Amino acid sequence: MVANHSGGCRSFSIFHLPLKSFFSYVVRRQRFFYVYNSNLIGEITERIVDMVYLEKLVMSHNGLCGGISSGLFMLKNLSILVGKIQEDFEKHQSEHG
């Protein structure tokens, strides 16, 4: 992990780390979360909803399975999603706007 001048995470590398362990390293104030094509496998942990400042989430091209916490739709700052997650997010927003 490499920190930037304000103490946030600038970049990091992950190799075959279980998702539950991985999310224990993610900072709650993280705004942009990119783990594109990072060899992640397993389910997306419920702890992702702890990232209350999250604006952009990119987790495509991994070996992820299972469902996505409905709490993800409650993250007020999250505005950039791609694929099936985006479709579900937009449906939830129109129903609960």
Q: Please state, for a pLDDT cut of 70, what percent of the chain lies above it.
A: 58
What pTM was computed for the model?
A: 0.56
Residue 67 near residue 61 (C-beta atoms within 8 A): no
Count of CB atoms situated within 10 Å of the CB of 49: 16
From its phi and psi, is residue 93 left (phi > 0), alpha (psi between -120 and 50) or beta?
alpha
* Per-residue tens of pLDDT for the chain, all 97 residues: 444 445 555 445 555 555 566 566 666 778 888 888 888 888 887 878 888 888 888 888 888 887 778 888 888 888 876 655 666 667 766 777 6
